[in-house]
Amino acid sequence: MWKDSGAPTDSFYEVRPESTDVPKTRFKIKAGKTLSARKWHAAFSPDGYLDISKTLGRIQHGGIHPSIRGEVWEFLLGCYDPKSTFAEREEIRKIRRVKYAMWKEECRQMDPVVGSGRIITAPLITEDGVPLQDPLNLLEAQGDGNASSMSNGPKEITSHVPLDKKVIQWKLTLHQIGLDVVRTDRMLVFYEKQENLSKLWDILAVYASRDEDVGYGQGMSDLCSPMIILLEDEADAFWCFERLMRRLRGNFRCTESSVGVETQLNNLASITQVLDPKLHQHLETLGGGDYLFAFRMLMVLFRREFSFGDSLFLWEMMWALEYDPDLFSMYEEPDVANGNGKGSKGKVKSIRQCGKFERENMRSGSEAPLPISIFLVASVLKANSSKLLQEARGLDDVVKILNDISGDLDAKKACSGAMKLHKKYLKKAKKT
């Protein structure tokens, strides 16, 4: 039963009683501001066409009611084209569920722990592909420590068939996924259930097998976790996560010489230099000109800086502001490995159907607009500029100041600040 207007989001994402140090959620459901189920359903025609322009402003100002959050996110992330009908979306959903089941079965054939309701938190194989039969590994994979489990384990968990490089690489990531999964959002009652933990592990394992270029990287579990909570069907949660990763997978593409978010950090440095040259100079003097202290904020979209409920509110505001109806097309076959959408062919984009941030970019003629997440970080730095200038005498101080504000940030103010900086930046960029 959904709570009435004014209820904090924590009412819906229950926190474990022993988690006393978790920041409280500021976001409250407000009648007339938060996108309600009634307003959401009213935006559809009888056939199912969605006039998304009716919802974007409301999401930007008041967020989404938790009872409909999952289905709204599917549209914000581009899982479905607003110009599709109810029947067309149902057909697409069926096809995607079948495809996910097929991919999951392929993973199960490579390792039977996938889909078993268990997770792996210790290495399965060596880097050469040799199976490990360490008792600790078997205990973790079996989920209990009795003798029969241990004696039957090797046959069930590992295979002596020679593995190809792709399978070896995938198997090497499974225990890292497990280690991250058991640490993800553990303050939530939702993850007290083993089935929910294993669902998160399965989705990440399947994704890693499909996206051979990026595979799995630490932080992906933080991005995937809300999908599991908001969408009951595992396949639907997978596709929502897959669409989010199309935007963010570049963050996880790392080489020996660079980190995935390096381009974004460079852009953040350029924005700060233009909008707050004094702060930029101070950070450079302290040796922070690479802006690596902002790495985590960009990598997992502020999941650590906000409470769980506020981070969801922040995400949906960002996506509503950035919304572009042609970002992904329902007519394009989902392809995890490519990681990008081609948009709808032959369609003329209506500025009315775009989010406010995207409209500003269109008006300015930006060919390669920067994501709003960079301006969000810039707005946090700007808001704490005087403190950083006065108190930071080294990089450790910068990190401490930014860590201390975690939990005290206001998602709505951060978004509002990002929009102001974006507008200011576009004006200055135009002049130069």
Handedness of CA 41, 327, 244, 425 (dihedral sign): negative
What is the DSSP track for 139-190? HHHHSS--HHHHHHHHHHH---SPPPHHHHHHHHHHHHHHHHHTTTTTTBGG
Q: How many distinct helices (H) and strands (E) make up the chain? A: 19, 0
Which residues belong to CATH 1.10.472.80 in the chain?
262-431
**Residue 325, number of CB atoms within 10 A of its CB:** 24
CATH number of 87-249: 1.10.8.270
User: Which residue, among 350, 163, 414, 373, has the nearest Cα to 267 in the 3D structure?
Assistant: 373
pLDDT at 351: 78
Round the CA-based radius of gyration of the chain to a whole number and report it.
Answer: 23
The two structure tokens encoding residue 333: 């076959």
Render each residue's pLDDT in the chain as its tens digit; 432 residues.
344 555 556 668 888 988 877 778 888 888 889 999 999 999 999 999 999 999 999 999 999 999 999 999 999 999 999 999 999 999 999 999 999 999 999 999 999 999 999 999 999 888 888 888 654 444 444 444 333 333 333 334 444 556 788 999 999 999 999 999 999 999 999 999 999 999 999 999 999 999 988 999 999 999 999 999 999 999 999 999 999 999 898 888 876 666 678 889 999 999 999 999 999 999 999 999 999 999 989 999 999 888 899 999 999 999 999 998 876 553 355 455 444 443 344 455 677 788 999 999 888 887 778 999 999 999 999 999 999 999 999 999 999 999 888 777 889 999 999 999 999 999 887 776
pTM (2 d.p.): 0.88
What's the rounded Cα separation, in Å, for the pair 103 and 200? 15
Alpha helices in 13-111, H assignment, sequence order: 37-42, 53-62, 69-76, 86-110
Instruction: Write out the residue limits of the CATH 1.10.8.270 domain(s) in the chain.
Output: 87-249
> Cα separation of 286 and 136, whole Å?
45
Around Cβ 278, how many Cβ atoms within 10 Å? 11
Q: Residue 64's beta-bridge partner residues?
A: 35
Supply the pLDDT for residue 164: 85
Would you state the pLDDT for residue 408?
A: 79
- Cβ-in-10-Å burial (0-12, 13-18, 19+) of 155 comes to exposed
Q: CB neighbours of 120 closer than 8 A, spacing ≥ 6?
A: 113, 137, 140, 141, 174, 175, 177, 178, 201
Nearest to 374 by CA among 230, 227, 274, 237: 274
Distance CA 279, CA 265 (A): 15
Residue 373 to residue 352: CA distance in whole angstroms: 22
Contacts of 212 (CB under 8 A, 6+ apart): 166, 169, 337
CATH class of 262-431: mainly alpha
